[in-house]
Chain A
Amino acid sequence: MTETRVFFNFDVTADSHTLAAYRQRGGYQALEKVLKGMQPIDVENEVKASGLRGRGGAGFPTGMKWSFVNKQSPVIYLCCNADEGEPGTFKDRWIFENTSHQLIEGMIIASYALKVRHSFIYIRGEFDLPYRRLMEALKEAKEAGLVGEKILGTEFSCDIIVHQGGGAYVCGEESSLLTSIEGFKGYPKNKPPFPAVKGLYQKPTVINNVETLATIPWILANGGATYAAIGTEKCSGTKLFGVSGHVNRPGLFEKPMGYSYKKLIYEDCGGILGGKELKAVIPGGSSTPVLLPSEIETLTMDAEAVQAAGSMLGSGGVIVIAEGTCMVRLLQVLSRFYAHESCGQCTPCREGSAWMNDIITRISRGKGVKGDLERLECITKGIMGNTVCALGDAASMPVNGFLKKFRHEFEYFIEHGRSMYDGRLEI
């Protein structure tokens, strides 16, 4: 193995998720090193030095997020966002199923750095095996004195509270995740105030993604500079990419940032199903704008490059679309998802997402009329930037992207009342 791996550094076996197996591959050594030999500020500086950026989608530098919190506050909370709901994304599930202890260790280290006594994991309600694995791991860790009172015999105590979600995509948005933990309906909150100032139970709160927190032990064990050396200059480290869609070997891959999309699709995933041509790639989960084959020709997987290409790295859920797929129907599936998952709090997203779904569904049934595409663009313009949280943008971006790049398919569908690609996709 030539590449450095943070996650894929062991063989998955029947008991590779247990504490014993995790200890065998060097687990909880970083925690011991931190608790017995480092000050909280050193941990924060180490994370800052690593250049680690949030893995949930927005890519905000983790160390900077931590530094925003007033450490003098008597109560600070840490929340792990494990409500992995973005279509196309399935990285956190793997972490829970195979190496929950890595997350627990990362959370305790982060709690130590942030002076947190109680930290929370908000886990997606549909996760079954991941939830059971996490609870088993927590039990093991508690019995081994790695979580709870006086961890590893030091003065530091921290409990991890697990909260199962009720199945709402919007609860992956940080402020609605907090309202959900508080016991209210998962509605996002208006910002400001930001969670770092007034978050869970009105106390300063840090919210990090599962992958982000599970990376922390490696950084502390090997040093921030070592981590920063991996990947690109502005986007360091490795990242889990989940590839789904029309590829021969879909699955989860750990790649350093700056890896080539083409290599990922044609080498790691074995190319497109049935040797078909590549039609489009959704680079980072369903809400990111779609990219054409010409655009990913030389594109590398790091936040800056993908942003320059007009899309977003997002959560790393790469959806590959082969030639022959009807983009109208594909967009209909996506828009139905967002219409279904809009929380209904603020007007533009509540009405707009359902409206867009109505129009796109009508087009995909062959009942499209002239002016529908302009209408869709007008709706996305009314939604974007005008909503409480980012769900409105997430619902609008794919519509904008599809209309921009595959407008002829929509026009064909409206004019002829049927798709350019009739029949099943033969693969």
Chain B
Amino acid sequence: MIEITIDNKTVEANEGETVLQAALRNGIEIPHFCYHPCLSIAGNCRVCLVKVDGRPKLMPACNQTVAPNMVVETEAPEVQSARAAVMQFIMLNHPGDCGICDKAGECRVQEYQFKYGMAEPISIEPKHHKKKFNYLSERIVLDNERCILCSRCVRFTREVSKSAQLGIVERGSHSYVARLDAQPFDDPYSDNVLGICPTGALLSREFMYKSRVWYLEPVRSVCTRCARGCSVNVWRRKKHWYVRSLGEEKNITAYRISPLENPEINGRWICNTGFDLHKFMARPRAMAPMMAGNTVTVDEASAEANRLLAGATNPAIILSAHASNEELQAFKEKLSPRVQVYTREDYCPAEGEVVEDDLLIRADKNPNSYSVHAMFGQKAFSAAAGHDVVIVWGDQVDYTSLGNAKIIHLTSYAPEQETRADVLLPISTTFERSGTFCNFEGKTNRFEQVFDKPKLVQHASDLFGRL
């Protein structure tokens, strides 16, 4: 531990840390664009310049290693004027089209311009134009005019995702970010650059013009697309801004997914599959209980399920690896002694999907296999065991593999098959309940309820008490 003084305040800094890191950890704000805690230090935005005692020039706080008894000033007049000058330079050719920019409201350039910039621009030159709305990939557009060339995205593809697909080409004020070999930016982690971009240069094509960000709020959730179980934020409309007349479905739409920092599991990143979690969740749902293809009431369906189970001589259940720990516990207490338990993987890697890599993506495409295996072992269903009633929990089930048994199906999504379950009971998705998953390392991660469940849909944990 080293003691340094920032703005007349003594703070403790770790050896080898930079002034910026020490300041941020101690709640002292120093503006920064290019510095990112997970990336190497570029020191190119120059907005974090601070006065360090004994140095003839202002030093970038992001590149200044702390030394014992160092005295740093972040609000000295020369620091403020340098900051204002840098903001003036950054805004010089920045289009300032916040009114039509998706980033407005969570844009660092906007924030710092209000906080540290000059009230009036001193430039009267026409702005230099660059290419707007560049196609970068199916997922991302790049607006070179808004780009402030902080190189965060470039460093991300070089240092984190290791695809090195982005670079800065040309020189001087003509520089711009581009995919270096005229190919789409198809890095499996590409969408992370949307979050680290300090301004509206990199934008999601999917989210574009869908909503202003200040209408939305994040809810903590867990990605269910692989056994890593990354923490994510699901962005829903704030209650205050609910749409009342037109398009009420907007109130129960997940607008976008963003990574939620979780140093234990995923750091600050998630993969593109995770960014698509809301689309995965928006598939056609099973909305009402059914018996042999006919819609029935909840009571009728559960009565029929009860009847089938009571009359069964050799009932079985196939567990879902998408069930939360709480649901598995409820099942264990209420139903498991009466049935033979089997497990399965609900989802297998899709064609063309990255199966597994060194960064985050795991080959097991289900969020809670760890708990299922820990509580009930690992035993695949076999039709040869002669079960006469089978409860299938989860989706993506091939009924034909179950033999001639009567089927009670608990599912969130509409089955794709023609053949029908004898009883189909719709259950809630992870967005509609809260609970926990254990990822492949056994680390528990909590998800919160984002939306209310539809009326006829039930929580699986409630169902087991009734059966």
Contact = CB atoms under 8 A, between A and B. Distances in A.
Interface of A: 168, 185, 190, 192, 339-348, 350-355, 358-359, 362, 369, 375, 378, 381-383, 385-388
A277 to B, nearest CB: 36
Contact of A347 (B63, B86, B124): B86
Contacts of A340: 171-172
A168 B124 contact: no
Nearest to A345: B44
A348 B125 contact: no
Given A345-B44, A386-B49, A375 B58 contact: no
Contact of B122 (A168, A369, A375): A375
A192 to B, nearest CB: 8
Given A386-B85, A388-B43, A342 B125 contact: no
A369 B171 CA distance: 29
A205 B47 CA distance: 30
B43 A348 contact: no
Given A190-B60, A344-B173, A381-B81, 7 more contacts: A340-B171, A340-B172, A350-B89, A382-B88, A382-B89, A385-B58, A388-B44
Contacts of A351: 89-90, 92-93, 173
A347 B57 contact: no
B175 interface: yes
23 contacts: A168-B171, A192-B63, A341-B171, A342-B172, A344-B149, A344-B170, A347-B44, A347-B47, A347-B149, A348-B46, A348-B89, A350-B149, A351-B90, A351-B173, A353-B172, A354-B128, A355-B92, A359-B125, A362-B125, A375-B123, A375-B124, A382-B89, A386-B82
B46 A347 contact: yes
Contacts of B60: 190
B173 A342 contact: yes
A344 B63 CA distance: 19
A243 to B, nearest CB: 30
Interface of B: 41, 43-47, 49, 57-58, 60, 63, 65, 81-82, 85-86, 88-90, 92-93, 122-125, 128, 148-149, 167-168, 170-175
Central interface residue in B47, B85, B93, B172, by most chain A CB within 10 Å: B172
A352 B128 CA distance: 13
A375 B123 CA distance: 8
A354 B86 contact: no
Contacts of B124: 369, 375
A185 B86 contact: no
Contacts of A342: 171-173
A347 B128 contact: no
Given A355-B92, A359-B125, A385-B58, A350 B175 contact: yes
Interface of A is mostly: helix
Given A346-B44, A347-B46, A386-B49, A341 B172 contact: yes
B461 to A, nearest CB: 55
A381 B58 CA distance: 13
Nearest to A191: B63
B390 to A, nearest CB: 61
Nearest to A355: B92
A350 B173 contact: yes
Contacts of A341: 171-172
Q: List 9 A-B pairs, minimum CB-CB distance, nearest first.
A: A382-B85, A344-B175, A354-B173, A351-B89, A342-B172, A190-B43, A344-B172, A190-B63, A358-B125
Given A190-B63, A386-B58, A347 B89 contact: yes
A358 to B, nearest CB: 5
B173 A378 contact: no
A328 to B, nearest CB: 17
A369 B85 CA distance: 21
Contacts of B82: 382, 386
A361 to B, nearest CB: 10
Contacts of B49: 386
A190 B63 CA distance: 7
Given A346-B44, A346-B46, A352 B89 contact: yes
Interface centre among B44, B125, B128 (most CB of A within 10 A): B44
